[in-house]
Structure 1
Amino acid sequence: MTTAAPELLFYKQACDYRIALFSQSFALTNVFRISRGAKTQAETLVVVISDNNHFGWAESVPYARYQESIASASTQLITAITQNNTLAKLKQQAAKHVSGAASNALNCALLDLQAKQQQKSVQQLLALKNAKPCVTAQTLSIDTPSAMAKASQTLAPAPLIKVKLNNQNILEKMTAVHAASPKSRFIIDANESWTVDDLTANDHALSLLNVDLIEQPLPAGNDQALAELSLKVALCADESCHNLESLNNLNNLNNLSELATRYNAINIKLDKTGGLSQAVELMRAAQAHQLKIMLGCMVASSLAMAPISLLSPYADFIDLDGPVLIKHDRAHGFDIKTGMMSPLNQQLWGGVESSAQAINLLSQAKKQAK
């Protein structure tokens, strides 16, 4: 299966804007395995919006771990759209109806549209530093030790490799991966699958294998034991940290100050924060608490990576290799070679000229909706 054509989910001509929702599947180059399961394609949600002169668009990935799907996210968006018939109202009121991946797609599409309307890039609108070529992690999914070592060799000499690991044969797999690419630094992503014993038993050995960071070793809401540990390898909150508002809703976790007693870093993903605007807020707050910043993504096209790539000048770790994992990326996507990632091409998203891809999609939607 190659990249599927976008499937129209919804189209509306409102008072002063047009908007369309699409689902689109991207076939993966290889099976992608994490502790929670495996997949062979990425399912994405695309929003395209226009004020009839300018066009904005964005892509998100609803995530089953957070009880999201293409259907549930699009339902949220349709509710927001049908109840807000002007662009101003949609911007002001949408937050009441959307969250997570739905919020991300709408927020980033509106930012892209605003850049065109005001003839200022999104980087300028948000007063962000200029992004430069940067090191991004490249991901190894869970497999046998020998298969993971072979996959690691194909990435060498990648400067940073992210290794998906459940709690089975942790040290054996990591030793094999390190031996295959001994000059690389490593991030381990446990996806909530480890225990405290797994951490304490393997911490020292992992530190000797160039492991700089372990993402979310314990389940979110059940990670308070981390505050009592003294480890050599730094810990990063992923599922335990979505956005500033959600911290108050997680069990046994009240704010960033408390999060900082358990973790050394946070992984900012736009599908968790609800968009780039919220990601900037979270990043600033985390920096004030001396938490390191990691930028992460779901598996998707370069369009999904585009907004968060603007935060790369502020990040300690970058993991935006989603486009490398799919067979066919969008036009004007990121160039990622040997772990180096190019800056955003504003022909894709975030610049002052409307994307030809976005214009074509909305035109198709209008024809299909007749």
Structure 2
Amino acid sequence: MSRTLRARHDSFALSQPFRISRGVKTQAEVVTVELEQGGLVGRGEGVPYARYGESIESALAAIERVRDDVERGADRAQLQALLPPGAARNALDCASWDLEARLDGRSVAAKIGAPEPERLVSALTIGIDTPMAMAVAASRIADAPLIKVKVDATIPDAQIRAVRGAAPNAKLIVDPNESWDQQLVRAMQAVLVTLRVDLLEQPVPAEADAWLEGFSPDVPICADESVHVAADLDVIARRYQMVNVKLDKSGGLTEALALAQAARARGLGLMTGCMVSSSLSIAPALHIARMSDFVDLDGPIWLREDRRGGVRDEAGWLVPPQPGFWGTI
């Protein structure tokens, strides 16, 4: 039976600016895909990321290029060959999973052979600001089990100290978003240990991380921008202790599952991450989160208004979407 493909640009206002080392975001710009067959609709979302040369326009154009194949019934395996990893394939892949679940009358979890998603710890993020402002932000979420601290190369020591002082009991992830260099990574090791940081995420640019081979960090380092798909792991496993699986990087849940399983097979730790997005991006990622050591899926928590029925935060615990939102019957 033929399918109907619809793709559009959706924009969600943030409740406050989201600051990282490469800029400030006030809107979540996403591509929403709907696949309809037999009166049933599967949905998926992708977040084009300029860091990878993507835009809303380029993602929508990529989807248009494969429209005929998709509407003629191209399955998820065929999508892997039709499109490269990225936001466009992610939106189509996740919409395909959702539609398959509805057509088959079996949830995505059942198709994977896994439990249904449950409430889990997910990081709450503190964006870059002055140490005083970051301490104030941390004090508001001090009871959260896991906090992610965005920093750059200016005063990361003071920023992390401010957060740790305001949230003495939380686990901490520090994320410089590629803004550090080798010298700063080495210089910050003692600070990270003293401040009980649990994970350092992608401190240096992906194209400048070769020196990490042979480096033994005092705090585990997680690859983010350096890893996209399972084929990257031959190099990644020599440089990092963990990998951050994001569906927008892998190009959907299909490849994300393959990446997560391959990383585990190599003895690497797992983190699940996201872009600033709606809950439609987060629902599929929960199937990676259940396998992960660290979860960072607070993208929708930054929105002024999310999609109806989506995830919600309960003091650092992420509650899955309502039944029927995505991938469930």
What range describes the TM-score normalised by the shorter chain of this pair? over 0.9
Deviation at 1:335, TM superposition (A): 1.9
Shift of 1:295: 0.2
Of the three residues 97, 102, 106, the one matched with 2:88 is 102
Structure-1 residue corresponding to 2:173:
187
Q: Equivalent residues in 2 for 1:206-245 (5 A)? A: 206-245=192-231
Q: Identify which of 219, 234, 259 aligns with 1:282.
A: 259
TM-score, normalised with respect to structure 1 = 0.86
Query: How big is the shift at 1:226?
Result: 1.1
- The 1:230/1:93 distance shift into structure 2, 3 A limit, reads closer
How far is the alpha carbon of 1:90 from its aligned partner?
Answer: 8.2
After superposition, give the CA deviation of every residue in 1:224-247 in whole Å (9 maximum; x if it has no partner).
1112322211100000000124x2
CA RMSD of aligned residues (A): 1.5
Q: Secondary structure at the match of 1:77?
A: helix
Distance 1:85 1:341 in 2: 35
**Alpha-carbon distance between aligned partners in 2 of 1:90 and 1:260, rounded to the nearest angstrom:** 27
Distance of 1:85 and 1:329 partners within structure 2: 29
**DSSP 3-state at the match of 2:58:** helix
- What is the number of residues matched between the two proteins? 329
Match of 2:66 among 55, 68, 80: 80
CA distance in 2, matches of 1:90, 1:263: 30
Distance in 1 of aligned mates of 2:134 and 2:152: 13
CA distance in 2, matches of 1:152, 1:85: 48
* Residue 149 in structure 1 maps to residue 135 in structure 2: yes
CA contact (8 A) 1:62 1:70 kept: yes
What amino acid is aligned across from residue 277 of structure 1 in structure 2? Answer: T
* 1:30 alignment counterpart: 16
Which residue of structure 2 lines up, in the alignment, with residue 318 of structure 1? 295
TM-score, structure 2 as length reference: 0.96
Q: CA deviation at 1:94?
A: 6.4
1:124 corresponds to 2:101 = no
Q: 1:296 pairs with 273, 293, 312, which one? A: 273
Question: Residues 77 and 98 of structure 1 are in contact (CA less than 8 Å); yes or no, is this contact kept in structure 2?
Answer: no
Structure 2 counterpart SS, 1:168: coil
Deviations 1:135-183 (A, max 9, x none): 0000011111111111111111111100111111111111111111111
CA distance in 1, matches of 2:254, 2:29: 23
Q: Measure the CA separation in 1 of the matches of 2:94 and 2:87.
A: 11
Q: Contact 2:106–2:328 (CA<8 Å) still a contact in 1?
A: yes
Is the contact made by 2:310 and 2:320 (CA closer than 8 Å) also made in structure 1? no
Q: Deviations over 1:187-231 (max 9, x none)?
A: 011111101111111111211212100110111121011123222
Q: What whole-Å deviation, never above 9, does each CA across 1:63-83 have from its counterpart, x for those lacking one?
A: 000000110011011000135
In structure 2, the residue matched to 1:50 is 36
> How big is each residue's C-alpha offset from its partner over 1:67-126, in whole Å with a ceiling of 9 and x where there is no partner?
001100110110001355411478635632353000000000011000011100011111
Q: What is the CA–CA distance in structure 2 between the aligned matches of 1:139 and 1:165, rounded to whole Å? A: 11
Deviates more, 1:126-135 or 1:226-235: 126-135
Is 1:137–1:318's contact at 8 Å kept on the other side of the alignment?
yes
Q: 1:199 to 1:22 in 2, by over 3 A?
A: same
- 1:169-184 equivalences in 2 (<5 Å): 169-184=155-170
CA distance in 2, matches of 1:261, 1:196: 16
Instruction: Give, as a single letter, the amino acid of the residue that structure 2 aligns with 1:281.
Output: A
Instruction: Flag structure 1 segments of 5+ consecutive residues without an equivalent.
Output: 1-14, 248-255, 353-370
**Aligned partners of 2:90, 2:70: CA distance in 1, in Å?**
18
Counterpart position of 1:306 = 283
In structure 1, what is the Cα distance between the partners aligned to 2:7 and 2:82? 19
Is contact 2:4–2:71 with CA below 8 Å preserved after alignment?
A: no
The 1:122–1:150 alpha-carbon spacing in structure 2 relative to 1, beyond 3 Å, is same
- Unaligned ranges ≥5, structure 2: none
* Identical columns (%): 42
Residue 184 (structure 1) shift: 1.0
Report the residue type matching 1:71 in the other structure: E
Correspondence 1:203 to 2:189 = yes
Report the CA distance shift for 1:198/1:171 in structure 2 as closer, same or farther (over 3 A): same
